[in-house]
Amino acid sequence: MAHLTLIRHGETDSNRVHRFQGQMDVPLNATGLLQAERLAERLAEERFDVGVVSDLSRTRATAAPLAERIGLTLRQDARWREQHFGVFEGQQVPDILDLHPDLWAQWVRQDADFALPGGGESIRAFHTRVWSALDALAAAHVGQRVLVVTHGGVLDMVWRTVRGQPLSSARQCAIPNAGINRLHWHGPGRAEIDVWADDAHLAGLPPQPSTVSLSVRYGAGVSAP
């Protein structure tokens, strides 16, 4: 069994305005940097044997204060990147509706095998990438405590698998920026959630961007990009 602590990166300006960032290398904003400091304070007394981040700057900057405080070496791994959104990357929903209305109509259907042009990943391909990375990491560190700082879409794939939610459905779990999620891994494809979306350490910081209005206005499948 491996003990996994999975963290979503801190807030970016793209999160704030609901811009699809995907695999674009977008930095943390001022709030995101504060969230990273709060995360470091919260986990400062914990021990981690291994630290892994995606190779995008927003995850590295989120993990850096904690890693420095506890002396943890961070390993970058591109398999923990966000889903690639193809031609949607860098765009807000109103822009997409103007430029790619047909693609948007296909996107909100939540077809697990639909991949956006421009290098986009289907949900199924993304899910396979995420669980391959998780299984490989956990299997290599049985009996150890592993920290992973990653992205909202990655965490959604984890939650769906553990809870048995279909890939072709709207997101049903909260995934706050800099939130803490803890799992026990028991073997390939098998894990249980101990804690999910713990953001008590962020009390008093600006409220996180809400996706409720997006879902109502643009389609039930919309979630934080």
Residue 14 marked as a ligand binder: yes
Residue 190 lies in a domain: yes
Neighbours of 43 (CB within 10 A): 20
- Please state, in angstroms and rounded to a whole number, the distance separating the CA atoms of residues 9 and 46: 19
Distances (CA, A) of 191 to 5, 53, 99, 183, 211: 12, 20, 41, 7, 28
Q: What is the CATH number of the domain that holds 176?
A: 3.40.50.1240
- 143 contacts: CB under 8 Å, gap ≥ 6: 1, 2
Q: Which among 3, 9, 127, 201 is annotated as catalytic?
A: 9
The answer to whether 163 and 155 have CB atoms below 8 angstroms apart is no
Residue 163 marked as a ligand binder: no
Total number of domains constituting the chain: 1
Active site residue 121: no
Structure-block tokens of residue 150? 């990653």
Give mean pLDDT, residues 5-9. 98
Residue 220 lies in a domain: no
- 57-94 pLDDT, tens digit per residue, is 999 999 999 999 999 999 999 999 999 999 999 999 99
Burial 122-151 (b: 16+ CB within 10 A, else e): bbeebbebbbebbbebbeebeeebbbbbbb
- 112-147 pLDDT, tens digit per residue, is 999 999 999 999 999 999 999 999 999 999 999 999
Give mean pLDDT, residues 36-43. 98
Q: Which among 3, 18, 82, 127 is annotated as catalytic?
A: 82
Structure-block tokens of residue 24? 């674009």
Residue 8 marked as a ligand binder: yes
Starting at the edge strand that comes first in sequence, how are the strands of the sheet with 180-187 ordered?
74-76, 50-53, 145-150, 2-8, 180-187, 190-198
Residue 98 lies in a domain: yes
- Please state, in angstroms and rounded to a whole number, the distance separating the CA atoms of residues 102 and 187: 41
Q: Which domain holds residue 83?
A: 2-215
- Please state, in angstroms and rounded to a whole number, the distance separating the CA atoms of residues 47 and 210: 33
Distances (CA, A) of 105 to 28, 92, 94, 96, 220: 30, 15, 13, 10, 11
> What is the per-residue pLDDT for 220?
47
pLDDT mean across residues, the chain: 94
Structure-block tokens of residue 85? 């959104």
Active site residue 84: no
Tell me which residue of 151, 176, 156 sits closest to 112, measured CA to CA.
Answer: 156
Residue 225 lies in a domain: no
Distances (CA, A) of 224 to 10, 37, 166, 171, 183: 13, 22, 18, 9, 22
Percent of the chain with pLDDT over 70: 93
Residue 222 lies in a domain: no
Give mean pLDDT, residues 103-110. 93
> What is the per-residue pLDDT for 224?
47
Residue 86 lies in a domain: yes
> What is the per-residue pLDDT for 58?
98
Residue 156 lies in a domain: yes
217, pLDDT greater than 60: no
Give mean pLDDT, residues 160-178. 94
Residue 221 lies in a domain: no
